[in-house]
Amino acid sequence: MTQSQDFRTRFAPSPTGYLHLGHARSAYEAFSAADREQGTCFLRIEDIDQTRCRPEFEAAIFEDLAWLGFSWPQPVRRQSDHFDSYEKALKRLDDMGLVYRCFLTRRELEAELEARGIETSPAGERPYPGPRAAMSADELQSRIGKGEAFAWRLSLDRARDYLGDAFHTLMFVEEGYLEYRKTTEEKAHPDWLGDVVLARKDSPTSYHLAVCHDDNLQQISHVIRGADLYHATHIHVLIQALMGWPTPVYTHHELVLDDQQNKLSKSRGSETLRKLREDGVRPETLIARWAG
Ligand code: GLU
């Protein structure tokens, strides 16, 4: 069977714990779509958070996915091997005047959002709308000189000026979120997320920057991931427009929930794929829940 060069997707787990059923579902959706479309599904290791990622979790990802019956092209991209690329992307945004250093601590940020009466957006968070006034060059230099911690934030105000009318017509094609496997064109609302963090003083990239960078680099035509990442797309579309990167087609599939209707999570101690495997569960049995 010839492979389609056009359909390229990816499964992009973070090795911060063992994979659970939610990951299996995402992997299934991505790998089976690539099969159906005769395309390619890449595996990408999103390990930018070096304090939480561990090599044994990465090794377990390969093992668990192989157990599920999936295979992927080599070499596998591991984000921690490419911090310099993300730094370059950030530098480009800085050169374009679109990012700024934000020195607010978590507590100061909360107080600021409170004081300004910022309400929770449809993304489920209170978006930071940016500083009321730009910091003076003197204060900036002094705080940098003192070695204070800061986050690099994307300025929505400057992005709006930079893109002009195009800012207001940002959109993406969604093939899953509102109604599963139904195609809709959605207007992007970056303001739901506000001035997001793209990097920090001591960490060269955030999820938002690295994921957009890599989806572009790997020429991902279709992003297939859980509905919990749907709102992030609204900022990804903006980053893509600013960087001149194409916007893939998105599918945000429904999440696997536990008996209490909670999203599965590593921190909640959701049952891992290795535990299911040890208990004798067959991969076909897991996948049969979602197939068809
Ligand atoms: N690394 C992200 C996660 O594990 C997924 C990123 C994506 O699919 O865009 O939640």
Cβ–ligand 1 distance for 46 under 6 Å, the answer: yes
In angstroms, what is the span from residue 80 Cα to ligand 1's centroid?
Answer: 15
pLDDT confidence band for 9 (50 / 70 / 90): very high
| 3-class SS letters over 122-179 | CCCCCCECCCCCCCCHHHHHHHHHCCCCCEEEECHHHHHHHHCHHHHCCEEEECCCCC
In angstroms, what is the span from residue 281 Cα to ligand 1's centroid?
Answer: 25
CA nearest ligand 1 atom 7, residue: 12
Handedness of CA 56, 45, 11, 22 (dihedral sign): positive
Cβ–ligand 1 distance for 22 under 6 Å, the answer: no
How does pLDDT run across 240-260, given as a tens digit for each residue?
A: 999 999 999 999 998 888 777
The number of the ligand 1 atom at minimal distance from the alpha carbon of 11 is: 8
Paired tokens of 15: 């090795």
For residue 34, the surrounding DSSP H or E stretch is: helix 21-36
In angstroms, what is the span from residue 160 Cα to ligand 1's centroid?
Answer: 27
Cβ–ligand 1 distance for 12 under 6 Å, the answer: yes
How does pLDDT run across 49-60, given as a tens digit for each residue?
A: 999 999 999 999
CA nearest ligand 1 atom 3, residue: 13
Cβ–ligand 1 distance for 225 under 6 Å, the answer: yes
How does pLDDT run across 29-82, given as a tens digit for each residue?
A: 999 999 999 999 999 999 999 999 999 999 999 999 999 999 999 999 999 999
Cβ–ligand 1 distance for 194 under 6 Å, the answer: no
Contact (CB, 8 A) for 198 and 99: yes
Task: Give residue 262's pLDDT.
Answer: 79
- Taking the C-alpha atoms of residue 132 and residue 117, their distance in angstroms, rounded to an integer, is 13
